[in-house]
Structure 1
Amino acid sequence: MKKLILLLFLGCFLVPYLGFSQGSPDYTGGLKVKLNEDGSKYFRIISWGQFWARYQDEVPDDVSKTNFSIRRARILTFSQINKDFLILTHFGLNSLNGDNQSPTGKGDSSQLFFHDFWLQYSLGEKHAIGGGLHYWNGISRLNNQSTLNIMTLDNNRQSWATIGLSDQFARHIGVYLKGSFGKLQYRVSVNESGKNTLDSAIDLANPDTFIAGDTYYAGRDLLGSKDAGKNFAGYFDYNFLDQESNFLPYKVGSYLGGKKVFNVGAGFFYHPDGSVLVNDDLTLEGQDVAIFAVDAFYDAPIGKNGSAITAYASYQNNDYGDNFTLGQTYETGSMVYSHVGYVIPNDNKKIKFQPYGSFNLRSIDLIDDNATTFGVGANAYFSGHNSKLTLEYLNTKYGDNDAQSFVTLQAMIYL
């Protein structure tokens, strides 16, 4: 019983691996409210915020080059009445800035919304089934990334490969099965596909507005197809060294040398008739959306005095339909992404410095060209991931377009 209570106590969103407390010497488990004397019935409350100051050189004359924003403001709770049942609720807002904030706090960007809400039932010690608005995603580790311990300033955008297309902010409504067989962990799901997509600007009532040769991510509405109403996803990773927790779905970005982890994974996302191709005669043809990836993650202490390395690499193949493109973010083609960071040796256990670099190369079918993104930055940890500053320079180039550069400073605290 004592071991079970300890597992429940540590198995929270902020501590995705037993013994890992986000690299903070001050962290003692967060806020846990006991509902009975021995603590086996409880609920947890976690809150965090990320504030950005960003400089962009290439902007119109009437736009400021420096802008402030609340990148994330979140609250997460979960509770158990016994080891067999769990309920999780996660809500907040994202990217609130001077352009989208509301004068009365009632605008869309000012409103809190559910990121996650799911119920889970245990199927023994190593397996569970659940349902709701969930984050048990497929494709890759970065499509399951925790936003609290990302090593780079933010997640690689194209790795969150379905946001606004079939889901609500990287979460689907559906059922999932997750667990482990020895060192192999798995998560698979069957989900409802959202009808209101980022392609919803299409005038469904007026087919004459369709452009021949274009592909739209609006399969269910445009085709009237029930087959486009469901999608399927899965991710599988083999833990060669220390075992990561899969108590909750959020993958750790950097352990800061707190564990020795080497994982190799593979995943997929499949949405039959998720996209629609407009033929030359303006007839519509269903297109299956199929995305898959392979990746590898390594994090380990090296040398003495707290030095550590974090490295990640992935290959992702994106098929959103013939020559699909939307906002230079979702595009049919392929992607190679990698990042590496190094924790500098330091006798001070509270303060750590971690320079890093990242690289993203995408091959895009529609333009028959590439897009590249290169980033360098550094994290200053004052209490592990619980309190940190991040400074990053990012340069991105899309085909023949001029390169865009950004310098961003992030302040983050979570409790």
Structure 2
Amino acid sequence: MKKAFLFVACVLTIQQYVNAQDTTQVSHSASPSVASKEKDALKFNLNENGSHFFQVTFLNQTWVRWNQSNPGTMVDGMAKSNTFDIGLRRTRIQMFGQITDNVFVYFQFGQNNFNSQYNYNSSGGLNRKNAPFFHDAVGEYKATKGNQLKLGGGLTIVNGLSRFSQPSVSSIMTLDVPVFAQATVDQTDQFSRKLSIYARGQIGKFDYRVAISDPFPVLSNGSTASKPTANATFAQKGHSHQFQSYLMYQFFEHESHTTPGYMTGTYLGKKKIFNLAAGIITQPDAMWYAESNGDTTYTKMLLWSVESFLDMPLNKSKGTALSAYAGFFSTNYGPNYLRFNGSMNPATSSNATNAISGAGGTYGNAFPMFGTGKVFYSQLGYLLPTSLLGEKHGQLMPYATWMHASYDRLNGKPMDVIDIGLNWLIKGHNSKLSLDYQNRPTYQTDSNGNVQTGDRKGTVLMQYQIFI
């Protein structure tokens, strides 16, 4: 409790600084998905009327977390039934601008998941200071007078599957994004970014994007080379390109089309948005597995989704708003593909003898996040009236999310992850304190190798976000 008190005290101190800047909220991806004027923005006009400009922004998300460990969890060689850790979920610097009437550039530099176990290696040899890297480096040309067609290329998060495959992390409603929608994260991409060429635009009420991506070899993510097994994994031989497309129909206001890719999490009642969308990613020979006779078979990866997004004011005079999302995902990575993942995992290894093999680290806070099967994901949030805390003290926004997956390798065992949380929007998304409780399943295998459901585990997490 003493640690929590000190943390909150620091938050309140930073809040006073942010309030003193009188900075109006802007939603970025950290990305500038919503354009609005800021009194003290780090913005440099390149012409007299400001239509050509270059801007710099900063984002930092600090996590303080208590976690019930999955069975067999080890931290630095010691068994741990629970953990307490402090870390930086995301630290980012953005640099972007409209250089000419037709040319837009976007760069993002930073790091992710930096806690005490970052780059841990029990045998040594890794360096915790090798964290920051370029997330994005994109150049884009506007081929029409309006937003009908923009052509771009570079290292980019422009994606085909879902709005949460290209999220504006500074503006998300929940404490963290549903990472499963970033389907190949850190396997054949660089934290969801890929080397791509793309076209995107808005024609009437339709918003579209199509991309051809050149994936990274899976072995360049630090994986150890291994032979294919009966369960599909990313192929370690051969190379093929990835094809993506996303189409959205906008019933009310149009979402911003300023930056390449990034899609806003919530507008906090500033816009009236209702969209229906569908997306797809496919890549031939992306996966491999071993047949019963030992032959290696290559198979395509095919992922698609349909989704709806609602974000609108309810009572403008009271400041209330509603945000809701529902999406269905079909994820075919090949026979019995399964991958555990835990965001900024506080643990380092496992001594469990009955863990599911070949599915990544099952320790710490990990759960089966990716797999061949079907996924339903939904979230709902309500922005409470400004009068509740008073206009000078921000607003509260409770929310809930539910991820339900049916993965082939879990043999019919459902995979449900539930989050409930509360945002204190001290200064919109610019200064935000979030508290979240997550409840997740655990799994193990019996003596015959069949998957069994274990005890459910929980995580309590506090995040402070500052965005300038």
Q: Shorter chain as normaliser: what TM range?
A: 0.7 to 0.9
Residue deviations 1:330-361 (CA, integer Å, cap 9, x gap): 21001000000001112333410001111010
Counterpart in the other structure of 2:151:
129
Aligned with residue 256 of structure 1, among 240, 264, 268: 268
8 A contact 1:397–1:403 mirrored in 2: yes
Partner residue in 1 for 2:359: none
Shift of 1:254: 1.0
Deviation at 1:72, TM superposition (A): 0.7
- 1:111 shift after superposition: 2.2
Q: Does 1:74 align with 2:92?
A: yes
Tell me the residue number matched to 2:246. 235
Please state whether the residue corresponding to 1:341 is helix, strand or coil. Answer: strand
Per the TM alignment, residue 214 of structure 1 is displaced from its structure 2 partner at its CA by: 2.3
Q: CA deviation at 1:277?
A: 1.5
Does residue 357 in structure 1 map to residue 400 in structure 2? yes
**Residues 1:97 and 2:109 are matched in the alignment:** no
The residue aligned with 2:165 is: 143
Q: CA deviation at 1:99?
A: 1.4
Determine the C-alpha separation between the residues in 2 that align with 1:264 and 1:129. 24
In structure 1, the residue matched to 2:306 is 294
- What corresponds to 2:325 in structure 1? 312
Contact 1:94/1:109 (<8 A) preserved? no
Residue 214 of structure 1 is aligned with which of 231, 241, 246?
Answer: 231
Q: Give 5+ residue unaligned stretches, structure 2.
A: 1-25, 121-125, 341-367, 444-452
Match of 2:459 in 1: 406
Q: Does structure 2 conserve the Cα–Cα contact (< 8 Å) formed by 1:374 and 1:395?
A: yes
> Per the alignment, do residues 402 and 197 of structure 1 end up closer, same or farther by CA in structure 2, a change over 3 Å counting?
farther
Identity of aligned residues (%): 30
Given residue 233 of structure 2, which amino acid in structure 1 is its aligned partner?
Y
Structure 1 unaligned spans of 5+: 1-9, 22-26
Contact 1:96/1:110 (8 A) holds in 2: no
Aligned to 2:337: 324
Q: Secondary structure at the match of 2:180?
A: helix
Amino acid in structure 1 at the alignment position of 2:323: T
- 2:160, 2:244 within 8 Å by CA — same for their partners in 1? yes
Q: Deviations over 1:130-182 (max 9, x none)?
A: 11001111111111111101111100121111112221110110101000110
Check the 8 A contact 2:27/2:171 in 1, yes or no.
no
Other-structure match for 1:390: 434
Separation of aligned partners in 2, 1:156 and 1:11: 18
Q: Secondary structure at the match of 2:414?
A: strand
Residues 1:12 and 1:367: Cα distance change in structure 2 (over 3 Å): closer
Q: TM-score, normalised by structure 1?
A: 0.88
The code of the aligned residue for 1:216 comes to: T
In structure 2, the CA distance between the partners of 1:150 and 1:86, relative to structure 1 (3 Å rule), is same
- 1:3 is matched with none
Contact 2:99 2:105 in 1 (8 A): no
- 2:253 is matched by which residue type in structure 1? D
User: Does the 8 Å CA contact 1:315/1:335 hold for their aligned counterparts?
Assistant: yes
The 1:109/1:314 distance shift into structure 2, 3 A limit, reads farther
CA contact (8 A) 1:339 1:357 kept: yes
Question: Which amino acid counterpart does residue 283 of structure 1 have in structure 2?
Answer: D
Asked whether the 8 Å contact 1:93–1:110 carries over to 2, the reply is no
* Inter-partner Cα distance in structure 1 for 2:205 and 2:440: 38
Aligned-pair Cα RMSD in Å: 2.3
Which deviations, in whole Å up to 9, do the C-alpha atoms of 1:2-51 show, x marking residues without a partner?
Answer: xxxxxxxx8975542355x7xxxxx5472211233333432110111000
TM score, norm. by length of structure 2: 0.78
Cross-structure match for 1:116: 136
One-letter amino acid matched to 1:175: I
1:87 is the counterpart of 2:100: no
Cα shift at 1:324? 0.9
- How far apart, in 2, do the equivalents of 1:12 and 1:71 lie? 16
Indicate the SS of the match to 2:410: coil
Decide whether aligned partners of structure 1 residues 354 and 162 sit closer, same or farther in structure 2, where only a CA change above 3 A counts. Answer: same
CA deviation string 1:369-407 (max 9, x = no partner): 211101100000111000000000000114502212100
**Residue 34 of structure 1 pairs with residue 51 of structure 2:** no
For residues 38 and 18 of structure 1, the distance between their equivalents in structure 2, rounded to whole angstroms, comes to 16
The Cα shift of 1:298 comes to: 0.5
